[in-house]
Amino acid sequence: MQPNVGATDRTVRIGLGAIAGLVSLAILLGALSLPPVLSPVLGVAALVLLATGLTSFCGLYAVLGVDTCNTGVR
């Protein structure tokens, strides 16, 4: 797996993943009065965002041919 997620993209993914995870937990704990169905949806989104941010690889990017790495290392 070649890295295809650049530094800025990684930072955004990790930040959004953390926020989505916290909101998911807040819904589960009743701290936010949002529909309960959002909790697992946000939880899965958080896991995907964090995983792709931490590994610097996005499967969807690979399929679509997108590469936000500008390091030139291949």
- pLDDT, tens digit (0-9, with 9 covering 90-100), for 12-52: 999 999 999 999 999 999 999 999 999 999 999 999 999 99
Widest CA span in the chain: 47
- Say how many CA atoms lie within 13 Å of 60 toward its Cβ: 4
Q: Which of 63, 46, 42, 44 is nearest to 54 (CA)?
A: 46
State residue 7 phi and psi, 5-degree precision: -60, -45
Nearest to 34 by CA among 47, 44, 43, 24: 24
pTM here is: 0.87
